[in-house]
Amino acid sequence: MTDSNGAISQSSVSSNSGLDVPISGNKESQVSESMTVIDRVTYKNLIVGKEYTLKGTLLTTDTQGIVAESDISFIPESPDGFIDITFIFDGWTFAR
């Protein structure tokens, strides 16, 4: 994660992604043309009022190929919190 000046922050960041569709407990879903994964990223020790940009890449588990890339800029209102980053991709790519 970088701030508005491009500096890497000394913060703690972790994520927990999941499909944004009705799913069973094993995170499986029906394939569709437009699929969405939302990754909730938690952060600690950011500077309140400073702009940060979170960049993410969604990879396949087998080949580590890039499925989607996304970024979001935000200004934290508290040092610790979370931000959701959304990845949208063509699910039919995996059905072939």
- 57-77, pLDDT tens digit by residue? 988 878 888 989 999 999 999
Higher pLDDT, 83 or 6: 83
Q: Per this entry, what is the length of the chain?
A: 96
Q: State the pTM of this model.
A: 0.68
Q: How far is 13 from 57, CA to CA, in rounded Å?
A: 15
- pLDDT at position 13 is 59
Higher pLDDT, 13 or 22: 13
Which pair of structure tokens corresponds to residue 46? 């950011």
- Rounded to the nearest angstrom, the gap between the alpha carbon of residue 44 and the centroid of all alpha carbons in its chain is 16
- pLDDT at position 82 is 92
Q: 81 φ, ψ to 5°?
A: 175, -155
- Return the C-alpha torsion angle 81, 77, 57, 31, nearest 10: 70
Please measure the distance between the N-terminal and C-terminal CA atoms of the chain and give it in whole angstroms. 34
- pLDDT at position 22 is 39
Distances in Å between the alpha carbon of 34 and those of 7, 51, 73? 34, 30, 23
